[in-house]
Amino acid sequence: MGFLKINFNHLYENYYKLVFQIAFRITKNKTVSEDIVQETFLKAYKKLDTLTENEKAGSWLSAIATRTSIDFLRKEIRAREVLLDPFTIELNGSILPAGESVQESVDIMILKQDIETHIKQLPLAQQEVFMLRVQHGMNEEEIAKKLDLKKSTVKTRFFRARKKLKHMYTLKYSA
């Protein structure tokens, strides 16, 4: 156990920065990235005996950090109940964007909930790509890297998600 502990301390000291950078690049959130670093090293500690001499510790930790970060984003996408943007309405305080009536604000809120409902009807793979592109503002290359996909796969999933959403809206609003 002493050898593993020394080895693990060495891994932590040498690769903390790398793991943090990976998590931050994916999540774009410092606090979340720090949590992911902790979770990554916890997973690594539990699986330290699986690290072979042939494997490089940096690659091994990078893979764990990437997967942990992506898992976080997937959970965030599933848990998200309302699309976030600068617009918010608080029923008790009534915060409205300048120049909008209550009716316009309610219409916008209903539309956003409608969009969210339609997004949840997409296959999970398309939801991930769509949310990373639209909500997180990532480009195709960044998404491909984060999800370990080909750029063409990301393009296809985004195109299909948009096409399905357009079809859903056409059916709903043309009637």
Closest C-alpha among 135, 173, 141, 148 to residue 161: 135
* pLDDT of amino acid 85: 42
Percentage of the chain lying above the pLDDT 90 cut = 23
**Is 110 strand, coil or helix?**
helix
Distances (CA, A) of 164 to 90, 121, 127: 31, 9, 11
Residues comprising the chain, all counted: 175
* pLDDT of amino acid 87: 43
Average pLDDT, the chain: 77
pTM, full prediction: 0.45
Options 3.30.720.200, 3.30.1330.10, 3.40.30.10, 1.10.1740.10; CATH for 2-79 is 1.10.1740.10
How distant is the alpha carbon of residue 12 from its chain centre? 25
pLDDT digits (tens, 9 = 90+) for 114-138: 777 888 888 989 988 988 888 788 8
pLDDT digits (tens, 9 = 90+) for 80-118: 544 444 444 443 344 445 455 556 656 666 677 777 788
Residues of the chain with CATH 1.10.10.10: 121-173
pLDDT band at 34 (very low <50, low <70, confident <90, very high): very high
Closest C-alpha among 8, 47, 40, 43 to residue 22: 40
Cα–Cα distance measured from residue 30 to residue 121, given in angstroms and rounded to the nearest whole number? 31
Query: Which residue has 């301390």 as its token pair?
Result: 9
- 72: tokens are 């976080």
| Domain 121-173 indexed as CATH 1.10.10.10 | yes
Residues of the chain with CATH 1.10.1740.10: 2-79
Closest C-alpha among 82, 38, 84, 83 to residue 61: 38
